């Protein structure tokens, strides 16, 4: 299971979702879909833009966690 830690990075950088969406050129609605983990995919160009805007690495935003069902 992939967990999206975008809220954490936004808080660390003291940036709002609206500021980030404007900076990287996506709609606030699409950024919200990413933040809530409801997106099924993310383009590398979008991930690159987010990392550049937040001065972070992809691993700071996306985290793999084993799902309880996968452990059985």
The predicted model scores a pTM of 0.86
Per-residue pLDDT of 54-71, as tens digits, reads 999 999 999 998 876 655
Of the pLDDT bands very low, low, confident and very high (cuts 50, 70, 90), residue 22 is very high
Distance CA 30, CA 44 (A): 15
Question: Quick one: pLDDT at residue 17?
Answer: 96
Q: How far is CA 63 from the centre of its chain?
A: 10
The residue with greater pLDDT, 67 or 50, is 50
Pick 2-65's CATH classification: 1.10.645.10, 3.40.50.300, 3.30.420.40, 1.10.260.40: 1.10.260.40
Give residues with Cβ within 8 angstroms of 54, minimum separation 6: 9, 10, 13, 15, 20, 60, 61
How far CA 24 is from CA of 4, 13, 17, 69, in Å, comes to 17, 15, 11, 35
Domain ranges of the chain: 2-65
Question: Quick one: pLDDT at residue 4?
Answer: 94
């Amino acid at each position: 299971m992939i967990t999206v830690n975008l809220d954490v990075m936004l808080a660390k950088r003291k940036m709002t979702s609206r500021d980030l969406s404007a900076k990287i050129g996506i709609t606030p609605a699409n950024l919200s879909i990413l933040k809530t983990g409801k997106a099924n995919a993310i383009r590398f160009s979008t991930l690159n833009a987010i990392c550049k805007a937040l001065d972070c690495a992809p691993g700071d935003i996306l985290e793999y966690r084993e799902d309880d069902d996968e452990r059985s």
